[in-house]
Structure 1
Amino acid sequence: MLFFVQICSIVHINMSKRAAQVVKRLGNKVRKIRKERGLTAKEVAKRASLSPRFYAQLEAGKANIAIGRLALVADALTVPLVNLVAEDPQPAAIALLGLRGGGKSTLGPLIAAKLDLEFIELDAQIEEIAGLSLTEVFNLHGEEYYRRLEARCLHELLDSREPRVIALSGGVVHNNDAFERIQRDCFTMWLKANPEDHMQRVMDQGDHRPMADHGNAMTQLRSLLSDREPLYRQAQLTINTSELAVDSALSFSLNGLKDAGWRGRGENAAS
């Protein structure tokens, strides 16, 4: 009898956990569609005849909403109800965005190991295809050639549908072909850091080129970050590596992936 009670308790806990994941995923989807529609939470709540407080709980993944009320939300968002309740296909990869020195090469392999996935630095793939170092690619052929190779390598990786963790170049957000594919087929994470940390981490890797023009280096870095930040902010998850230690950043990343419904492989799946 005790064994039966224990089994029932385990089943109840697993079902509750699954329900919580579904509600969280629903909230993420509602929020994403609302933002795509250019609507405020207050506007959607009013259209759906919901209180602003309850609607906020829905987007936060904390509302146990009845199907009838969810249908009103779907109408307010002008999408079929099935679009809110159906599970989306898992993205082809986890894409790490951000400037060099943000922590992609540190955090990326750790995330990949936890999820039993391959970690790839896209720049390494580009060097392999070009048969040249990145410096040689830029010096001999220019940035336009590099961006074509970048898009080609990315498409090949994502076309395989093999789940991976991919560290991308800082400027990939300005490669329209590549960035559109990333947004469509990847779970995106921005590894954010303050300019001083970006600079110091690059130097700690043994690259002192940023200091060659020391007088303008930090100004240029701040300008570059300011230019790209609006695009980085489109990522589905932001991890501030200046504020979080590596272990904390890893936990935050895995929790964000779990909330988004990401499934890894084997025992280390984010579930």
Structure 2
Amino acid sequence: MHTSQPLPTEYERIVAQLSRTLRSERANRRLSRYELAQRAQLSERYLAQLESGVANPSLTVLTRLAEALNLSLLQLLDIAALVTPTQAEYLIERLQSRVATRHLGIALVGLRGAGKTTLGRLLADRLDWKFFRLTELITERTQIPLDELFSLGGDAAFRRLELETLQQLIDTSDDQFVIEIGGGLVTNRPAYELLRRHWITIWLSTSPEEHMERVIAQGDVRPMHGNARAMDELRAILNERTPFYEAAELHLSTSNQQLEASLNALEQLVRQHLAADGRYQHPPTSFGRADGTEETHLS
């Protein structure tokens, strides 16, 4: 046990060194940021934050980046000249503490029609975890239907309820679960920061056309009813929110994918991400259908 704890500025120096190493190693390999993000299964925006020294990476993220660059974790950190052994011990403790204190939860973000509900339920079944929808937790908590919540308090009141309900879930639940997040929460900065701090966030995306097709396939024709510019408005919303969605830790596109293919890809992405977490109990892997039944599209 050490007698004195290094100052936080030492950690900041280490993060700055990491950002320099990432940029240098990526340049040496002539990889674009997009290519490295794909290899490490991170969003391009999150990698940009790492390379700018503003993100606070977990041990899992660092391990995947090291593997993507064919480096050891020590080579990636490249901190031997920067820190004393005591400071190195502090760094490891700090990285491990993020894993130890983080809830074992998967939060699916994205615009309506990306497959959050369908894939979320199926992923939870495969992992033998619980499944929640944040909007349902809010209405259960308030005992007020969703449309009435908006009419009574407006958007600002609903955003406060999002934050309060997430905090309540953090304070009261020790279960492993998958949670579906409403498409607009990402613009609620306090709630989104809380979400990203406590759970693994995955952005599910698809094309604007598929978003619209899937919503209508669910039986909701409201987006098109009496609105000739519905698709333009959808594209505008997606463009506005994309920078927020890109801040999620992981990204999976469901565009032009069969349901089973998207589910398999999502399950594999999650299992790989959780592999470094010793608290995670791995249920049997179940890629693909065992009964050979026909695949269906997302809706």
TM-score, structure 2 normalization: 0.67
SS for the counterpart of 1:197 is helix
Match of 2:228 in 1: 215
Q: Given that residues 117 and 165 in structure 1 are in contact (C-alpha distance below 8 angstroms), is that contact kept between their aligned partners in structure 2?
A: yes
1:95 is matched with 107
2:176 equivalent to 1:200 = no
Count of residue correspondences: 231
- Alpha-carbon offset, residue 75 of structure 1: 5.8
78, 92, 102: which one pairs with 1:72?
78
Q: Cα distance 1:66–1:258, how it changes in 2: closer, same or farther (>3 A)? A: closer
Any unmatched runs of 5+ in structure 2?
A: 1-13, 40-62, 287-299
The alignment status of 1:153 with 2:159, answered yes or no, reads: no
The yes-or-no answer on 1:41 pairing with 2:52 is no
Q: 1:91-240 to 2 correspondence within 5 Å?
A: 91-92=102-103, 93-159=105-171, 160-240=173-253
C-alpha separation in 1, matches of 2:285 and 2:168: 25
User: What letter corresponds to residue 144 of structure 2 in structure 1?
Assistant: L
Structure 2 CA distance for aligned equivalents of residues 152 and 36 of structure 1: 37
1:52 maps onto 2:33 in alignment: no
Note the alpha carbon deviations across 1:225-270, whole angstroms, 9 max, x for none. Answer: 0000011011122111113222222222222222222565463479
Inter-partner Cα distance in structure 2 for 1:224 and 1:150: 20
| 8 Å Cα contact 1:117-1:264 kept in structure 2 | no
- 1:238-249 equivalences under 5 Å are 238-249=251-262
Alpha-carbon distance between aligned partners in 1 of 2:189 and 2:73, rounded to the nearest angstrom: 40
In 1, are the aligned partners of 2:18 and 2:76 still within 8 Å (CA)? Answer: no
The alpha-carbon distance between structure 1 residues 38 and 232, as it changes in their structure 2 partners (threshold 3 A), is: farther
CA distance in 2, matches of 1:217, 1:42: 41
SS at match of 1:260: helix
Asked if 1 retains the 8 angstrom alpha-carbon contact of 2:17 and 2:77, the reply is no
Q: Which amino acid counterpart does residue 267 of structure 1 have in structure 2?
A: P
- Specify the code of the residue in structure 2 equivalent to 1:103: G
Per mean C-alpha deviation after superposition, the further-off stretch among 84-93 and 221-230 is 84-93
Letter in 2 for 1:255: Q
* Higher helix content, 1 or 2: 1
Counterparts of 1:196 and 1:35, CA distance in 2: 41
**Cα deviations by residue, 1:41-68 (Å, 9 ceiling, x for unpaired):** 233x49xxxx93499798251536385x
2:60 match: none
- Cα distance in 1, alignment partners of residues 17 and 229 from structure 2: 38
| SS of aligned partner of 1:191 | strand
2:293 is equivalent to residue 251 of structure 1: no
Give TM-score scaled by structure 1 length. 0.73
Shift of residue 213, structure 1, vs aligned partner: 3.5
Query: What whole-Å deviation, never above 9, does each CA across 1:141-177 have from its counterpart, x for those lacking one?
Result: 2111111111111111122242210000101111122
What's the Cα RMSD here?
3.4
Measure, in 2, the Cα distance between the counterparts of 1:36 and 1:105: 40
**Does the C-alpha gap of structure 1 residues 64 and 123 become closer, same or farther in structure 2, counting only changes over 3 Å?**
same
Contact 1:126 1:150 in 2 (8 A): yes
Structure 1 regions of 5+ residues with no counterpart? Answer: 1-32
Q: 231-240 vs 96-105, which deviates more?
A: 231-240
* TM superposition shift of 1:140: 2.2
Identity %: 33
Give the distance between the partners of 1:75 and 1:36, measured in 2 at CA: 10
